[in-house]
Amino acid sequence: MEVISQKIKKLSEREMQCLYWAGQDKTLYETAQQLQLSPETIKRYRKFILHKLNCQTMTGALAIAFKEGIL
């Protein structure tokens, strides 16, 4: 569990915001509107999240976030 906590700490503020909105069942486009960013930027942030958390899907990333109590 300690390893996962260290991975979560590596997420930037924007990456955390993207993870939060994904956890609220928002689409990529809805998240882009909410954060006033382009959909391409959100795609890039999501890619960074998956890489940093060593996940294949956003579902996996969200599962980690829920286990860590950040969502």
Tens-digit pLDDT profile for residues 22-32: 999 999 999 99
Which letter does DSSP use for residue 57 in this model?
Answer: S
pLDDT of residue 71: 83
pTM over 0.75: yes
State the fold for domain 2-67: Arc Repressor Mutant, subunit A (1.10.10)
* Percent of the chain surpassing pLDDT 90: 80
pLDDT of residue 1: 52
Place of tokens 């979560």: 8
* Alpha-carbon span 57 to 8, nearest angstrom: 16
60 HSE (CA, 13 A, CB side): 12
Q: What is the mean pLDDT of residues 8-17?
A: 93
pLDDT at 2 over 60: no
pLDDT of residue 27: 96
